């Protein structure tokens, strides 16, 4: 599988990554089948977070499953979301970052994290303190590179200014929601990412499933799917405008012998500042489908046409 670099880190990853947010909620055997198939197909970027799997479950399962195959992957995890009900174990203070990193290393049964990401901004902690703690982890060898997630462009710019001024490690990736149906980051965040030589790691690349091809307008939502479980959540995506776009994209892909899922991945990978598309999976077949999608290389004309189809989507918040 094709590989790209995570920003300026020098760390190469597969263009299709595995989102591990389902691990911990799944049985270990089921998670292992997904992990093994992903590695067999050349997928090297595994993205999790301390909070996934009911606070720690995803990391624990990965630690149990990987074993000797840890060396074959690039392991990314996150900190900052609440890890207890008291509100004490969260945020991006120096003390908490040290605690959170050691806890993740223990659950993952590894000596280092390839990409350690701040899951969300912390308005109560100066960015210099956060970056100082992360820089220490890099110097200690516990972390190879750092990234952020859900950070507005102005805050990201301030973080880079602080890194330069204080000679600290800088964020090399930004993980944000981005798909054919949610393109809000293109306005301000992407220009900042490009300016700093970072990479965007999109989450919800299939718009939580609306771009997967499993849903059809006017038909009952399949049982067991994300939209079936989350009613109001599905309503936010299943708008009249989005359905029109999905129908147009489906026809575009079908005319070229592909599915809308293929198109969702191929369009993202046409962005040179996007190193890898992270997608979750609960079955090996989904991994195979995602990996296959990466083989479609859109032409410049095709990208322009898809951009025209999706340009009607309002910018996301």
Domains, the chain, in order of start with CATH, read 3-207+270-297 (3.20.20.100)
For residue 259, give the DSSP letter. -
pLDDT of 232-264, one tens digit each? 555 667 788 899 999 999 999 999 999 999 999
pLDDT of 102-153, one tens digit each? 999 999 999 999 999 999 999 999 999 999 999 999 999 999 999 999 999 9
In 3D space, the residue among 9, 72, 19, 62 whose CA is nearest the CA of residue 201 turns out to be 19
Q: Is the dihedral of CA 220, 222, 224, 225 positive or negative?
A: negative
For residue 14, give the DSSP letter. E
> Is the model's pLDDT at 181 over the cut of 60?
yes
**How does 112-143 read in b/e, with b if 16+ C-beta sit within 10 Å?**
ebbbbbbbbbbeebebbbbbbbbbbbeeeebb
- The contacts of residue 199 (CB under 8 Å, 6+ apart) are 4, 5, 6, 7, 172, 173, 174, 193, 273, 274, 275, 276
Question: pTM for the complete prediction?
Answer: 0.91
For the chain, what is the mean pLDDT? 92
Q: How many helices (H) and strands (E) does the chain have?
A: 12, 10
Instruction: Decide: residue 154, CB within 10 A, 0-12 exposed, 13-18 middle, 19+ buried.
Output: exposed
Instruction: Decide: residue 305, CB within 10 A, 0-12 exposed, 13-18 middle, 19+ buried.
Output: middle
For residue 118, give the DSSP letter. E
CA distance 37 to 285: 9
> What are the residue numbers of the active site?
52
């Amino acid at each position: 599988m094709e590989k790209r670099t995570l920003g300026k880190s020098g760390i190469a990853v597969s263009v299709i990554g595995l989102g591990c947010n389902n691990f911990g909620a799944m049985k270990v055997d089921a998670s292992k089948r997904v992990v093994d198939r992903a590695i067999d197909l050349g997928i090297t970027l595994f993205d999790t977070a301390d909070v996934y799997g009911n606070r720690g479950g995803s990391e624990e399962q990965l630690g149990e499953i990987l074993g000797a195959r840890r060396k074959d992957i690039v392991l990314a995890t996150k900190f900052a979301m609440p890890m207890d009900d008291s509100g004490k174990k969260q945020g991006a203070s120096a003390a908490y970052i040290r605690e959170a990193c050691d806890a993740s290393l223990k659950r993952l049964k590894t000596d280092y994290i390839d990409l350690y990401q701040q899951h969300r901004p912390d308005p109560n902690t100066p960015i210099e303190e956060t970056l100082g703690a992360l820089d220490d982890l890099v110097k200690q060898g516990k972390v190879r590179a750092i990234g952020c997630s859900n950070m507005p462009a102005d805050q990201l710019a301030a973080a880079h200014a602080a890194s330069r001024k204080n000679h600290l490690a800088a964020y090399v990736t930004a993980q944000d929601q981005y798909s054919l149906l949610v393109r809000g980051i293109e306005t301000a965040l992407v220009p900042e990412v490009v300016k700093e030589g970072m990479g965007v790691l999109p989450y919800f690349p299939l718009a939580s499933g609306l771009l997967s091809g499993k849903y059809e307008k006017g038909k009952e939502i399949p049982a067991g799917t994300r939209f079936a479980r989350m009613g109001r959540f599905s309503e936010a995506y299943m708008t009249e405008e989005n359905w029109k776009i999905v129908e147009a994209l489906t026809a575009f892909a079908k005319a070229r012998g592909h599915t809308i899922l293929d198109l969702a991945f191929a369009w993202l990978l046409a962005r040179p500042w996007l190193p890898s598309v992270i997608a979750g999976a609960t079955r090996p077949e989904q991994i195979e489908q995602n990996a296959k999608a990466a083989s479609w290389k859109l032409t410049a004309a095709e990208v322009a046409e898809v951009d025209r189809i999706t340009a009607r989507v309002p910018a996301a918040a």
